[in-house]
Amino acid sequence: MVDHGYHIHPVGRGHAKALSEVHKGCFFKGWSHLEFESFFERAGVFAGLAYDKKQRPVGFVLCWIIEDQCDLLSMGVLEENRRDGVGQMLLDYALANATSLGAKYMMLEVNINNTAAHTLYESQGFEKFSVRKGYYTNADGTLADAVCMRKAL
């Protein structure tokens, strides 16, 4: 793959605004910086921001380790930076960090219609273990199921 100069930095509460801005660019229902700040009050939460070569934040990942399980709470890459390996880098970062912090599993939920994320997670060995009916509300108000996926670390 061509090196486009993306890099990941571990970030915390002080980056809540940047995390919120990138999140808002990735999902129709954005999370505020206050919501991101409150995540960091929980023990075991970690996050990473992906920057492009001009030091602009273009992607993020947010995870929460509870006992031996790491929950991938959210991840996204700005539309104009997709299909450039950033999602893969963020997932690699999350998996490596979770492993080094002692987690034995990573789990996540993904919208059943989200082909991009599904393909990425499956390619990294995540396997479906259950479905949550009507878990997500789409932009048009309809409901979509969540597929719960898990991977041993």
Ligand X SMILES: CC(C)(COP(=O)(O)OP(=O)(O)OC[C@H]1O[C@@H](n2cnc3c(N)ncnc32)[C@H](O)[C@@H]1OP(=O)(O)O)[C@@H](O)C(=O)NCCC(=O)NCCS
Task: Name the site residues for ligand X (rule: CB under 6 A).
Answer: 26, 75-77, 82-88, 110, 114-117, 119-120, 123
- Smallest separation (angstroms) from ligand X to the CB of 108: 6
- Which residue number, 16 or 26, has a Cβ lying nearer to ligand X? 26
Amino acid letter for position 82: R
Q: Give the whole-angstrom CA distance, residue 19 versus residue 78.
A: 12
Terminal alpha carbon distance of the chain: 25
- Smallest separation (angstroms) from ligand X to the CB of 104: 21
Q: Give the whole-angstrom CA distance, residue 79 versus residue 58.
A: 9
Q: Give the whole-angstrom CA distance, residue 26 versus residue 124.
A: 21
Q: Give the whole-angstrom CA distance, residue 18 versus residue 125.
A: 30
- Smallest separation (angstroms) from ligand X to the CB of 31: 12
Q: Give the whole-angstrom CA distance, residue 93 versus residue 96.
A: 5
- Which residue number, 29 or 104, has a Cβ lying nearer to ligand X? 29
- Which residue number, 116 or 143, has a Cβ lying nearer to ligand X? 116
Residue closest to ligand X when measured from CB atoms? 87
- Which residue number, 28 or 43, has a Cβ lying nearer to ligand X? 28
- Smallest separation (angstroms) from ligand X to the CB of 89: 7
